[in-house]
Structure 1
Amino acid sequence: MPTPKPVPGSILSPMTFMSVKGGEIVVGGKSENWTLLVVYRGKHCPRCKKYLNTLSAMHQDWVEAGFDIVVVSADSLEKAKADQEEFGWSFDLGYGLTESQMATLGVYVTEPLSPDEADGNFAEPGTFVLRPDGSQIIVAISNGPAVRPDLAELLDGMIFNKTKDRPHRGTV
């Protein structure tokens, strides 16, 4: 049975992920800034690398617009660290996303085709934007790696939403 999908406008309870840089990353609940949360499939996914390379190139634009960036997968520290070292992404990278956290986020979960693909079940892509109060203004989930929000369009839209204090959409 599929996991219920998140409701735009609902508050995301705080979640903690381990960081490749050491320490923890907390997302959800109250924050000083808006937050862009990107859930990616993991080291095995070349489409994820392309998306995250684009995000890394835009990192400063997001920061200047007042956003914290959180990127996380279900990968192990070793796999996440290998990606971070290979690609040199400018954002902090989280790892160890649990199935319970996947369910809370409402992302689709996939069983790997083989041990070469992933060590266990992994999350399909999810892109979330949270207001400083932790409410989810954008909830974009996909059941496969080929469908994700265009990051330049998303940033432009989020700057508009912040500037105009636009409400959450899709709540009816």
Structure 2
Amino acid sequence: MPTPKPVADSILAPMSFPRVGGGEITVGGDTENWTLLIVYRGKHCPRCKKYLNVLNNMRNDWTDAGFDIAVVSADSLEKAQADQTEFGWDFDLGYGLSEAQMDQLGVYVTDPLSPAEADGRFAEPGTFVLRPDGSQIIVAISNGPAVRPDLSELLDGMIFNKTNDRPARGKV
């Protein structure tokens, strides 16, 4: 049975994933700041690396605007840690995204083409922006690696939305 698409403005129930370097990342529910949550495909995806490198270069812009950043994939600790070491990402990097969590987020899920691609099913890209109360103001999911929101445009729009207390769109 297919997962229903995420509902704009709905509250994302809190979910946690292990963080590279120890501890956990928790998103959803009540937080102090807004949250940018990026779901990426994993170590096997060169497009993800490009996207996350852009995010890393913009990290201070996002945090200065009042956003916490969380990035997660279904990868193992070893794979996520290897990417963080290779690329020097400074944002919170999670791993071990479960199929139940993929389902909760409403992202597309893919079976690997071979064991060389991934160890098991993985999530296709998703970009979520959550208000401090956990409501989803932006839900952008893709069924493949080539379609993702432009992070500069997204930040500009989110600063406008925060400043002007704009509602989530696409609720009809």
TM-score range, shorter chain: over 0.9
Q: Return the alpha-carbon distance in structure 1 between the equivalents of residues 19 and 90 of structure 2.
A: 13
Secondary structure of residue in 1 paired with 2:103: helix
Cα deviation 1:22-73 (Å, max 9, x = unaligned): 0111000000000000000000000000000000000000000000000000
Following superposition, the deviation at residue 90 of structure 1 comes to 1.3
2:40 — aligned with what?
Answer: 40
Task: Specify the code of the residue in structure 2 equivalent to 1:81.
Answer: Q
Q: Give 5+ residue unaligned stretches, structure 1.
A: none
Following superposition, the deviation at residue 92 of structure 1 comes to 1.1
Secondary structure of residue in 2 paired with 1:55: helix
Q: Return the alpha-carbon distance in structure 1 between the equivalents of residues 132 and 24 of structure 2.
A: 19
Q: Give 5+ residue unaligned stretches, structure 2.
A: none
Task: Specify the code of the residue in structure 2 equivalent to 1:150.
Answer: D
Q: CA RMSD in A?
A: 0.4
Normalised to the residue count of structure 2, the TM-score between the two structures is 0.99
Secondary structure of residue in 2 paired with 1:68: strand
1:84 — aligned with what?
Answer: 84
Within 5 Å, give how 1:116-155 maps onto structure 2: 116-155=116-155
Q: Return the alpha-carbon distance in structure 1 between the equivalents of residues 39 and 138 of structure 2.
A: 13
1:98 — aligned with what?
Answer: 98
Q: Is the 8 A contact 1:130 1:137 kept in 2?
A: yes
2:73 — aligned with what?
Answer: 73
Aligned residues: 172
Following superposition, the deviation at residue 83 of structure 1 comes to 0.2
Secondary structure of residue in 2 paired with 1:128: strand
Q: Return the alpha-carbon distance in structure 1 between the equivalents of residues 155 and 37 of structure 2.
A: 13
Task: Specify the code of the residue in structure 2 equivalent to 1:152.
Answer: S
Q: Return the alpha-carbon distance in structure 1 between the equivalents of residues 137 and 101 of structure 2.
A: 19
Q: Is the 8 A contact 1:21 1:92 kept in 2?
A: no
1:30 — aligned with what?
Answer: 30
Following superposition, the deviation at residue 101 of structure 1 comes to 0.1
Normalised to the residue count of structure 1, the TM-score between the two structures is 0.99
Q: Return the alpha-carbon distance in structure 2 between the equivalents of residues 23 and 161 of structure 1.
A: 31
Cα deviation 1:135-164 (Å, max 9, x = unaligned): 000000000000000000000000000000
Cα deviation 1:90-109 (Å, max 9, x = unaligned): 10100000000000000000
Secondary structure of residue in 2 paired with 1:96: coil
Cα deviation 1:120-143 (Å, max 9, x = unaligned): 000000000000000000000000
